[in-house]
Structure 1
Amino acid sequence: MTQEMFHATTTFPLTDPMRLIRRLCKHWAHKITTEYSDSEGSVDFGDQKTAKLYANEGTLTIKISTPTKSDLETIQDVVERHVVRMIPEEEITKIKWELSL
């Protein structure tokens, strides 16, 4: 029996998405497991709560998966606060999440 997971995805424009992925992964690496390569990153918040980050030409896509809706809202908030804090001020945008099961 597989557990139902909750998902949220956002994509928004960013001049250097890979720079943000590296910064986020390095920032969180002191407390949780993170990995990144030349075009993507992953963050394991524990207890089946994950964020995958993908750098595309001029955009960043973030996909979050969690076992509960409450966890999803918490991780979305954590990721969003860190993204807004770490991107250049002139590139701050409203992050709109698409939710799915």
Structure 2
Amino acid sequence: MRTTRLAMLRRRIGSDPGAGDSHDEGKNMTNSASAAVPTDQASRYLQQLCKHWSHNLKVEFTPEHGTIVFPKDARGADFPADAIVTFDARPAALDVRIDASSADQLDTLKGVVASHLDRFAFREAPLPFDWA
């Protein structure tokens, strides 16, 4: 069975439940939030965001699904572990999920994701984010 890049990243940062490496202990993603952002342009925005972040972050995406890894030390931060943001495009909404290593990292990424999405969706902005 071939291991995907996403599975390797999740194992490395400790968000893969099957990973038993001792150096990953204590880094499980326990802070998460998700939102369904109503838009008819979900796939378009997903691809724009992923292309934008692919210049300096680890990104994998298709027109329907995208995954971005935000390093724990991005822009001078010092979080316990990397964070993973996933996007899933549906016909009338863009589903966003953030898995972070701390509450501060989660709050930071909520703002980053919302501001970037509003930038690309400027005709519809501000888009409503009902984080759960």
Pairwise TM-score range, normalised by the shorter structure: 0.7 to 0.9
Q: Which runs of 4+ in 1 moved over 4 A?
A: none
- Structure 1 unaligned spans of 5+: none
RMSD (Å) for aligned C-alpha atoms: 1.5
**Amino acid corresponding to residue 43 of structure 2 in structure 1:** M
**Quick one: distance in 1 between partners of 2:124 and 2:89?**
19
Q: What TM-score comes out, normalization by structure 2 length?
A: 0.68
What are the superposed Cα offsets for residues 65-95 of structure 1, whole Å, 9 maximum, x if unpaired? 0010000001111101101111142353221
Taking the aligned partners of 2:63 and 2:120, their CA distance within structure 1 comes to 19
For 1:50, what is the secondary structure of its paired residue? strand
Count of residues in Structure 1 that have an aligned counterpart in Structure 2: 98
Q: Does the C-alpha gap of structure 1 residues 18 and 41 become closer, same or farther in structure 2, counting only changes over 3 Å? A: same
Higher relative contact order, structure no. (Cα contacts within 8 Å, ≥ 6 residues apart)? 1
1:23 matches 2:48 = yes
Q: Per residue, is there more strand in 1 or in 2?
A: 1
Bigger mean CA offset, 1-10 vs 13-22? 1-10
Question: Retained in 1: the 8 A contact 2:37–2:94?
Answer: yes
Q: Aligned partners of 1:92 and 1:29: how far apart in 2?
A: 24
Q: CA deviation at 1:38?
A: 2.9
> 1:16: how far off?
1.6
Q: 1:71 to 1:90 in 2, by over 3 A?
A: closer
What is the alpha-carbon distance in structure 1 between the residues aligned to residue 126 and residue 39 of structure 2? 9
The percentage of aligned residue pairs carrying the same residue is 23
The answer on whether the counterparts of 1:8 and 1:63 sit within 8 Å (CA) in structure 2 is: yes
